[in-house]
A and B are shown apart, each in its own frame.
Chain A
Amino acid sequence: QLQLQESGPGLVKPSETLSLTCTVSGGPTSSSYYYWVWIRQPPGKGLEWVGSSYYSGYNYHNPSLESRLTMSVDTAKNQLSLKLTSVTAADTAVYYCARHYSSGRYWLDYWGQGTLVTVSS
């Protein structure tokens, strides 16, 4: 059974960099069948796709975040990483990692439990 677990600081200061890791167990991040995904959800609000990463290093980013966003897959550690620079209060959200198929089947079938990141001084 695939499991995903997010980890990282729960509090980040404005203008600093938000860094999260997602550890995947029960399946390889090196699979060519899947993209590894970050989704976020501000408190009380809806879901926002952050970006999707392929094991080869190819990424799709949300255009609204692209200038601040770095995502990668570490197949040796079976982890995903997310870095978002110059954060503001608007980046406060629960961040989820998830998976979708490659080849046009972009639905998210496995999710982590999510981790709340608060941006505040």
Chain B
Amino acid sequence: DIQMTQSPSSVSASVGDTVTITCRASQGINNWLVWYQQIPGKAPKLLIYTASTLQSGVPSRFSGSGSGTDFTLTISGLQPEDFATYYCQQANTFPLTFGPGTRVNIK
């Protein structure tokens, strides 16, 4: 199985800040990396697929990059609605696996 790790596990930030979250795969997955946002009590929402492609309707302040084993999610200019938990997922092969999540808290 491909193991996914994320750092940091949590981050505190203010509205307007830029936040960067890192995701690492235990083996190369090309660009088959996905990011989700989960607000408490809600289902996860697809943000980015193939490492850098924004899902339709997702604001452009979200961006993703990376290939192989190392990936980043950047939120530029945090908005109040962005305070949530973010998960990466490898979409390369079964079993599908997720990172443990990064919680973005209000400072």
Chain A residues near B (Cβ < 8 Å): 46-49, 52, 60, 62-63, 96, 98, 100, 104-109, 111-114
A-B contacts, 14 of them at CB < 8 A, read: A48-B98, A49-B95, A49-B96, A52-B94, A60-B95, A96-B43, A96-B44, A100-B91, A106-B92, A107-B46, A107-B49, A108-B89, A109-B55, A114-B43
CB <8 Å contact, A113 and B43: yes
Mark B residues whose CB is within 8 Å of A.
1, 32, 34, 36, 42-46, 49, 55, 87, 89, 91-92, 94-101
Bound form: Cα–Cα A63–B2 in Å:
13
- Chain A min CB distance to B2 (Å): 11
Say yes or no: A47 contacts B44, CB within 8 Å: yes
Q: In whole Å, how far is B76's beta carbon from the nearest beta carbon of chain A?
A: 22
Q: How far is the CA of A105 from the CA of B91 in the complex (A)?
A: 7
Q: Which residue of A lies closest to B98 (CB)?
A: A47
- Interface pair A112/B43, CB less than 8 Å apart: yes
Q: Find the B residue at minimum CB distance from A37.
A: B96
Chain A residues with Cβ below 8 Å from B97 are 49
Q: A49 touches which one: B45, B46, B98, B100 (CB < 8 A)?
A: B98
Cα–Cα distance between A98 and B49 once the two chains are bound (Å):
16
Decide: A106 near B43, CB < 8 A? Known: A46-B98, A49-B97, A49-B98. Answer: no
Known A96-B43, A107-B49, A112-B43: A46·B100 in contact at CB below 8 Å: yes
**Other contacts beyond A47-B98, A112-B43: 17, CB < 8 A:** A46-B87, A46-B98, A47-B36, A49-B95, A60-B94, A62-B95, A96-B44, A104-B32, A106-B32, A106-B92, A106-B94, A106-B96, A107-B34, A108-B44, A111-B43, A111-B45, A114-B43
